[in-house]
Structure 1
Amino acid sequence: MIHLWPLRVYYEDVDLAGIVYYANYLKYLERGRSEMVREAGISQLEMKAAGLVFAVRRVEADYLKPANYDDELVVETRLDRLKGASFDMPQRVLRGDDVLLAARIKVVIIDSQGRAARLPADIRAKVTAITASDS
């Protein structure tokens, strides 16, 4: 499954040069991941109530081209490398056919004490369904 989340660049997103400030891409990526998880039927609020949360462990990002004020962008998110307590989410930010940013995010599941935790079976099934539909 490739999830696409559209967005527009607002004035608040840009720096003095008129291009998207680099840290704002991390916000765009987070929103793209959150929307993908939501559409997969995984409630992060229910997970938190059960003492589990998703946490970003690693971000690798290549900034390839700048985005500008009022650009229409798309955050593309995939899910792969599912392990017991983690998975990778490759993401890209696109403007039309142009790749502006390519990133690889490692997400871990942690318990309320901040320790790594295995994915519960019901969430694993939903995550596996996402991964399988991407093939």
Structure 2
Amino acid sequence: MSKLTVNLVEPVFTTTYRVIYGDTDAAGVVYNANYLRYFEIGRTEMMRAWAMPYSAIEELGCVLPVAESYLRFKAPAAYDDLLAIATSLVEVSKVSCRFHYAISRCGEGERPVLLAKGFTVHACVNRQGKLTPFPPVVLEKIEAILEKGAASQQNG
């Protein structure tokens, strides 16, 4: 049993995704590696909504490759399931950041069912692949997400 823990922290960004047939395997369930794609969807949409699009970060000369990932499966998803991808930023340093995720099936009128949870850690690297600090504007925007969560905890 893994000792890794995944807890979403405020603020939590949620987006939805409808499973397409091409996401499934011969058993009729979502192929395991697609959950990392779903994490990417959640992270990308969160960054677009609350910080800046990845394309803007890349224009500043940085890319954010996955340096570490963890995924814990709880239940399978299938074709045409509507998924809720909940994403939270939980940690930021000068050169990396960590996101946590929870993916649930969210059928209309049904209680959500947790399907998978996990995390990704991203390094900030330049175009030559060398670890580099986040550009100040990027660091400011992603730290603001953490500060928003800290403020809500103090007020809650």
Structure 1 gaps, min length 5 = none
| Identity across the alignment (%) | 30
Q: Is the counterpart of residue 101 in structure 1 residue 116 in structure 2?
A: yes
1:66 aligned partner, one-letter code: P
Contact kept? 2:57, 2:138, Cα under 8 Å: no
RMSD: 1.2
Pick from 6, 13, 16 the counterpart of residue 26 of structure 2: 16
Structure 2 gaps, min length 5 = 1-10, 107-111, 151-156
Contact kept? 2:60, 2:135, Cα under 8 Å: no
1:1-135 correspondence runs (5 A) = 1-96=11-106, 97-135=112-150
SS of aligned partner of 1:22: coil
Length-normalised TM-score, structure 2: 0.81
Aligned length: 135
For 2:76 and 2:93, the matched residues in 1 are separated by: 34
For 1:31 and 1:109, the matched residues in 2 are separated by: 19
TM superposition shift of 1:12: 1.1
TM superposition shift of 1:19: 0.6
TM superposition shift of 1:45: 2.1
For 1:64 and 1:13, the matched residues in 2 are separated by: 18
For 1:68 and 1:50, the matched residues in 2 are separated by: 39
2:69 aligned partner, one-letter code: V
